[in-house]
Structure 1
């Protein structure tokens, strides 16, 4: 396929951002938020997460404009700012988070189908895992046909899946009752105080915003570099508005306790409470279409991360190989192979959609923080801001706020998720060492060896905790 046909314009890049963010998360949002927070905390939480993620969107926009040479996506910023091992870890963590996210999509698809076919249960029964595996490799074959074909399908699905969400918002607004919204406004005693509620909902908000960097990952395929930043901000603002409306309007239809007890996709059961069974059927169908679209976008993202990192030697060279249609086939095989492993693991530990997405959100925090920290570094040095002091300090402020937000999310996510994330970072060192050997380089510098040693020690302690049952995978 000629290279010119692989170029993506503003509409396609925005669709990738929206398609990546509006997937599984929005359809489970009423239950996911209500299980941790009441209306007051939800309002504050959305304001905090909206500001934090907007700052991150501005960081990606600034980096795309100020460092156009770093065109391989989110991990390239960590590598440029902090060296090879940190850059590799950013790529690895982002990739694993994407793989976990894809696994959760399969769980949600068949959890939704479980409403009609009980054999699928909550999406983690043997039949559901078998069906998920079949769907996984069908998508795999579709993506192998070409990135442009998949991107076009993603754009069409993005439009189609917004229609049931729009209908939900209209009907929920008409059914909204102020007395239901005000009742338990500050949450129940079981949820704790406002601070505890905010901490509880933060990883959920991160999960529904994952994909904000979708245009950055594909920056080297953009027809115009400036469209990367525009697509990121446009996509974020639109999706943020959707997420806030879905969660808050639901709190005016059912009480916090009722929402928290709903199965997923919980949006379906909120609409069922408004209009009856057909509402649940409509939203479940819409969620399946939406998740299929998000699944396609994230399969593309998984492969692209490995492929881009292999292109500059961060990952082993075999991951940079493309097929005749310019698709990074080896990266795609490795990504979907790991998804298959995670699907099979569901048979042994009964992992749920919520547990998968919280771990995926936690894994994404390091890449987001490192990109923001590089934004701070770039603006502070001022090398890319000659003659534009106002823009320099504006971007510096956005990067500092974004970095602070990412660090606070690590705290809000809790120690359990942090330790499990560290455990998943360790296996990647094998690919890092292979890539270094292929380039004829020493694997670690002195400080990188110390860093890896510390990570390995924490990982061993985490394994011991898992073995003793103190932590659950």
Structure 2
């Protein structure tokens, strides 16, 4: 039986992660359910030209964000758990708390979408599972949540090793999909799909904009190595893993999307049942293709779930270690796993799974809310990088590249701000329903340290979030916003 302690030091040498493991964290975090839905999502929105433009925009924007995490890992090597730590260092304790709490909540909501999709896939064979939101599906999903909990409790190093194996296993069917589609590509079909509809600039712009939230969701997790910076064997590997993982995943996502236009017509792609990659491969090789992709999806989603649960617990643990979350969350067990944060993470995932019983479209709602919750922490991290380049902090000892890094940080800020607007007001409001009550943890932390709950600026920020949360509840009650 393991003994629960409250260790706050560095992880044991045996648990240190090398570049391949950190890169696997990035890839494993991004390659989840989203890639399997790309053909239908893009087919509903645009054609080949629009898809290519969308990936160029998303790739450029998210690459700057990946470079921001690389920049911060090098210039601020003392900051652990990237997203949260950067927000606190740049904008203060309360925004830092929001970043940590929002990132954690986003990971939990995203994990719920994984379980819904898994049970929905099995629902094709077992009708009692429905679309992943029946009582039986929720009970089975909750059992899966706690099974993963036990795995991670055995130690982060062991879970990271499992993640590397799962990452390789889930990339195999996706890579095979790309190879088969490239070989069997039907040029006439691809040519007919070049345009999505309206050939005017305005029409093309609207089509591209319609894909932006899709690209955001599939890229969530780009900060995977940054979150696990305290476990890196060499600090510079954090930035390298982030960029290497991102570029590989971008090439994979763009290939899956564009090659699908050479298998089926745009309208047919848009009508495919999710996971739409299964329908595309089935059209190319027959029924075994759909079964093959279905199996790959299960492995992929479970691997992504492992990565996101690891990161969610790590963010809570480091925030508590730095006295920005209640002290009980910094407890670890004998295997250096952040057990208290892990219990809280698994508990929230289970609770949100119960909420899906009352949602009209649990999967879509979870995806959009997950994206909305993630964007604020991303914006704060990019803002901190821009603040560093503007103030010149750290450039006195390492002056090179300041102008280039300023451009990178500025583009990342603009891109993430644009995505927040594109996400829509309703999801920002719903996010506040989660942020407002979560502030109780911030107040408890302040009391543990013998400090007043809020400063004047913090009180004003909390009031704004609380009002938005109340407005969201009112909109849900009146039907103005639906889940």
Equivalent position of 1:280 in the other structure: 290
Matching residue within 256, 262, 276 for 1:266:
276
CA contact (8 A) 1:200 1:412 kept: no
Superposed CA offset, 1:132-159 (max 9, x none)? 1111111111111111111000001111
User: How many Å separate the matches in 1 of 2:43 and 2:131?
Assistant: 19
Equivalent position of 1:257 in the other structure: 267
- After superposing the two structures, state which structure 1 stretch, 413-422 or 395-404, moved more: 413-422
Equivalent position of 2:5 in the other structure: none
User: How many Å separate the matches in 2 of 1:436 and 1:197?
Assistant: 47
Matching residue within 55, 59, 68 for 1:59:
68
* Cα shift at 1:387: 5.2
> CA, structure 1 residues 436+411, in 2 after alignment: closer, same or farther (shift >3 Å)?
same
User: How many Å separate the matches in 2 of 1:357 and 1:176?
Assistant: 31
Is structure 2 residue 360 aligned with structure 1 residue 360? no
Equivalent position of 1:30 in the other structure: 39
User: How many Å separate the matches in 2 of 1:184 and 1:249?
Assistant: 11
TM-score of the superposed pair, with normalisation by structure 2: 0.95
What secondary structure, in the 3-state scheme, does the structure 2 residue paired with 1:35 have? Answer: helix
Equivalent position of 1:75 in the other structure: 84
Equivalent position of 1:208 in the other structure: 218
User: How many Å separate the matches in 1 of 2:399 and 2:25?
Assistant: 32
> CA, structure 1 residues 183+415, in 2 after alignment: closer, same or farther (shift >3 Å)?
farther
What secondary structure, in the 3-state scheme, does the structure 1 residue paired with 2:329 have? Answer: helix
Equivalent position of 1:4 in the other structure: 13
Equivalent position of 2:404 in the other structure: 394
Structure 2: segments with no counterpart, 5+ residues? 3-10
Equivalent position of 2:383 in the other structure: 373
User: How many Å separate the matches in 1 of 2:368 and 2:197?
Assistant: 23
* Cα shift at 1:184: 4.9
Equivalent position of 1:158 in the other structure: 167
Equivalent position of 2:335 in the other structure: 325
> CA, structure 1 residues 171+329, in 2 after alignment: closer, same or farther (shift >3 Å)?
same
Is structure 2 residue 220 aligned with structure 1 residue 227? no
Equivalent position of 2:228 in the other structure: 218
TM-score of the superposed pair, with normalisation by structure 1: 0.97
Equivalent position of 1:180 in the other structure: 189
Equivalent position of 1:96 in the other structure: 105
Structure 1: segments with no counterpart, 5+ residues? none
User: How many Å separate the matches in 2 of 1:425 and 1:111?
Assistant: 29
User: How many Å separate the matches in 2 of 1:321 and 1:427?
Assistant: 23
* Cα shift at 1:280: 0.6
* Cα shift at 1:110: 1.5
What secondary structure, in the 3-state scheme, does the structure 2 residue paired with 1:384 have? Answer: coil
CA contact (8 A) 2:278 2:291 kept: yes
Equivalent position of 1:304 in the other structure: 314
Aligned residues: 473
* Cα shift at 1:66: 0.3
- After superposing the two structures, state which structure 1 stretch, 86-95 or 263-272, moved more: 263-272
RMSD of aligned Cα (Å): 1.7
Superposed CA offset, 1:291-349 (max 9, x none)? 11111111111111110111101111101001111111111111111111111111112
Superposed CA offset, 1:30-59 (max 9, x none)? 122223333222111110000001001110
What secondary structure, in the 3-state scheme, does the structure 2 residue paired with 1:193 have? Answer: helix
What secondary structure, in the 3-state scheme, does the structure 1 residue paired with 2:401 have? Answer: helix
Equivalent position of 2:157 in the other structure: 148
CA contact (8 A) 1:265 1:284 kept: yes
CA contact (8 A) 1:6 1:148 kept: yes
User: How many Å separate the matches in 2 of 1:388 and 1:95?
Assistant: 33
Equivalent position of 2:7 in the other structure: none
User: How many Å separate the matches in 1 of 2:174 and 2:49?
Assistant: 24
- After superposing the two structures, state which structure 1 stretch, 318-327 or 193-202, moved more: 193-202
What secondary structure, in the 3-state scheme, does the structure 1 residue paired with 2:211 have? Answer: helix
Superposed CA offset, 1:48-78 (max 9, x none)? 0000010011100010000111123211101
What secondary structure, in the 3-state scheme, does the structure 1 residue paired with 2:379 have? Answer: helix
Equivalent position of 2:206 in the other structure: 196
> CA, structure 1 residues 130+350, in 2 after alignment: closer, same or farther (shift >3 Å)?
farther
User: How many Å separate the matches in 1 of 2:271 and 2:102?
Assistant: 32
Equivalent position of 1:431 in the other structure: 441
User: How many Å separate the matches in 2 of 1:108 and 1:18?
Assistant: 20
* Cα shift at 1:461: 1.3
Equivalent position of 2:414 in the other structure: 404
> CA, structure 1 residues 407+283, in 2 after alignment: closer, same or farther (shift >3 Å)?
same
CA contact (8 A) 1:111 1:264 kept: no
User: How many Å separate the matches in 1 of 2:208 and 2:386?
Assistant: 26
CA contact (8 A) 1:124 1:350 kept: no
